[in-house]
Structure 1
Amino acid sequence: MSIILNNISKSYNKVKALDDISFEVKPGELFGLIGPDGAGKTTLFRILTTLLIQDGGKASVAGYDVQKQYKDIRNHVGYMPGRFSLYQDLTVEENLNFFATIFGTTIEENYDLIKDIYIQIEPFKARRAGKLSGGMKQKLALCCALIHKPKVLFLDEPTTGVDPVSRKEFWEMLKRLQQKDITILVSTPYMDEAELCDRIALITNGKILQINTPEAIIASFPKKIYKVRSSNTYQLIEDLRIYPDTHSAYPFGEYLHFTPKSEVFRSMDLTKYLAERHHKEIEVKETVATIEDTFMDLSKAHE
């Protein structure tokens, strides 16, 4: 296994950031750690990249123990933290040369690995990193993380704050990198990105809720789910949450996703209830669950 975690825990004073985390990432796998801000994703990444020591449990990356063999790990992993952390006063080319020199290599030596990404930022190679757009900063940071040809790549929320087009391009780049036998562990708060991973771990409040393929996690959703909307969305949320048969109700795009408690649910009963509360343009339709629906349901069960 490229990454192995056994019962990892970490606390900050009385706050438990990670609570008994265990999972494995296979060689060449694109594995996603999916959860909201504060779930523990960054803490876990810092432990796996040897920047932070866990309170309990053991972990290994590329066959090396994160505590006992931290120097070996640093030579075999690439890490792209959530915040842009390159030298903003250096140019694109100077940043790349700097990181290549640290790892005793050159841009030319591993050019085949970064070529697809580098050609997109090469026109700006004389520009200072701090003057790049969000998407270009992201591509430069990825090039720097890959410059020494790592076995394992850690990407902590790499697309946060990046425009939709750049996000799509970034994931296409990750798929190509995966074909070059690089194991990738990526974290994201975006549920739509979870479906692009081979397997995912849903995490919240430092606990793993479920680990499986995106398809299997969606298939595990235990109830029927309905999309509901009316002319007054705010009032709709309030009225659905006090409806006697409501298991859960939360905003989902232009609709609310509603899950009933009972197995024998009739949409006409809900429509009648909402009409009595003066809602107009009522729409209640059965829909398919998403990873976000599963995450919300599992989170509710763990409250």
Structure 2
Amino acid sequence: MIHLHHIRKQFGHFTAVDDVTLSIEKGTVYGLLGANGAGKTTLIKIMCGLLDPTSGTGTIFGHDLVRERNRIKQSIGYMSQKFSLYQDLTVSENIAFYARLYGIEKPETRARELSEQFDVYTFKDKVVYSLSSGVRQRVAFACALVHAPKLLFLDEPTSGVDPLARRKVWKWLYRLAADGMSIVVTTHYMDEAEHCDRIALMNAGRIVAEGTLDTLRKGLPVQLHSLEDIFVHVMREDVNR
């Protein structure tokens, strides 16, 4: 579904993504794990067609990342790390607006469906800036899914929300994955990453380890069980190279 080959992204003299080669299969919940500045957000923006790679090639659903980005955008949903909804519109107005952008025939009906699905219908007539961070995240989630994408990109979707809201988001992710949707998610939370089908550990723009949690454990010269210990060990080894 996703194939990246030697992707590199530079901003002036700074290399944000450094020679990333990656394949993600259909129906996978794929986690990108790394510290701030590791390159996770830049890599997701390249896959979404929001940034051109400086070099390298890639395809999503067989479409070229650069030449066919408009075709790719019709099949993907994206929820950015920063809150990206219209603060002075209501919940229903925000969702309906995104539905219209994607050509949904009955945007108000779709807005109601998603408001109910993500437990924000009681807030449908409230302007977004007046809502708590957890409710706003659920509205952004609904907007990313308004056109029923086959592939969903989530950039730290649970950042800044309480543990209960985090649990709800991941419950929805599991449900979407069970229905056949593919999901690429960045996170700082080790407990969340442990539930991904595959994990890529990023450091300084590079992928320094990749695989299932079991393969990451087995590939180390020492016996480590928790993802947090694996992450610390891999990053330390990478820095010492």
TM-score range, shorter chain: over 0.9
Whichever residue aligns with residue 109 of structure 2, its letter is E
Cα deviation code 1:149-204 (max 9, x no counterpart): 11110000111111111111110110001122111000111111111101111111
Structure 1 position 190 matched with structure 2 position 189: yes
State how far apart, in whole Å, the 2-side matches of 1:129 and 1:66 are: 33
Q: Alignment partner of 1:162: what SS? A: coil
What secondary structure sits across from 1:170 in the alignment? Answer: helix
Task: Identify the residue that residue 295 of structure 1 maps to in structure 2.
Answer: 231
Aligned residue for 1:137, secondary structure, equals: helix
Partner of 2:120: 121
Deviation, 1:301, is: 1.4
Is residue 33–residue 185 contact of structure 1 (8 Å, CA) maintained in 2? Answer: yes
8 Å Cα contact 1:110/1:149 also seen in 2:
no
Name the SS of the counterpart of 1:18 in structure 2.
strand
Distance 2:220 2:111 in 1: 44
Q: Map 1:150-169 to 2 at 5 A.
A: 150-169=149-168
Distance of 2:131 and 2:178 partners within structure 1: 28
Q: Tell me the equivalent position of 2:72.
A: 73
Aligned partner letter, 2:237: A
Which residue of structure 1 lines up, in the alignment, with residue 98 of structure 2? 99
Q: Within 5 Å, which residues of 2 pair with 1:7-18?
A: 7-18=6-17
Q: 1:148 to 1:164 in 2, by over 3 A?
A: same
% same residue:
39
Q: Quick one: structure 1 residues 115 and 175, their matched pair in 2 at CA, closer, same or farther if it must change by over 3 Å?
A: farther
Contact 1:110 1:148 in 2 (8 A): no
CA distance in 2, matches of 1:49, 1:77: 8
Aligned partners of 1:221 and 1:289 also within 8 Å: no
The one-letter code of the counterpart of 2:2 is I
After TM superposition, give the deviation of residue 21 of structure 1 in Å. Answer: 0.4
SS in 1 for 2:200: strand
Where do residues 1-303 of structure 1 align in structure 2 (5 Å cutoff)? Answer: 2-105=1-104, 106=107, 108=109, 114=114, 117-118=117-118, 120-224=119-223, 289-303=225-239
Describe the shift of the 1:86–1:157 C-alpha distance in structure 2 as closer, same or farther (beyond 3 A): same
Give 1:279's aligned residue.
Answer: none
- Output the CA distance in 2 between the equivalents of 1:165 and 1:221: 34
* Mapped partners of 1:174, 1:208: distance in 2: 24
Task: Measure, in 1, the Cα distance between the counterparts of 2:212 and 2:40.
Answer: 19
Q: Distance in 2 between matches of 1:190 and 1:155?
A: 14
Partners of 2:84 and 2:91 in 1: how far apart? 13
Q: Which residue identity lines up with residue 55 of structure 2 in the other structure?
A: G
Q: Alignment partner of 1:89: what SS? A: coil
The structural deviation recorded for 1:70 is 1.0
For 2:71 and 2:38, how far apart are their aligned partners in 1?
28
- The aligned residue for residue 271 of structure 1 is none
Uncovered stretches (5+) of structure 1, i.e. residues with no partner: 225-287
The amino acid across from 1:161 in the alignment is G
Instruction: Give, in whole Å, the separation in 2 of the partners of 1:63 and 1:201.
Output: 22
Distance 1:176 1:136, change over 3 A: same
Alpha-carbon distance change, 203 to 301 in structure 1, aligned in 2, over 3 angstroms = same
Contact in 2 for aligned 1:29/1:198 (Cα 8 Å): yes
Give the whole-Å Cα distance in 2 for the aligned partners of 1:296 and 1:128. 42
**Highest relative contact order (Cα 8 Å, sep 6+), 1 or 2?**
2
Following superposition, the deviation at residue 109 of structure 1 comes to 5.3
Q: Is this contact kept in 1: 2:115–2:121, CA < 8 A? A: no
SS in structure 1 opposite 2:109?
coil
Could you give the per-residue CA deviations for residues 84-119 of structure 1, whole angstroms, max 9, x where no partner exists? 10001000000011000000003535977x47633x
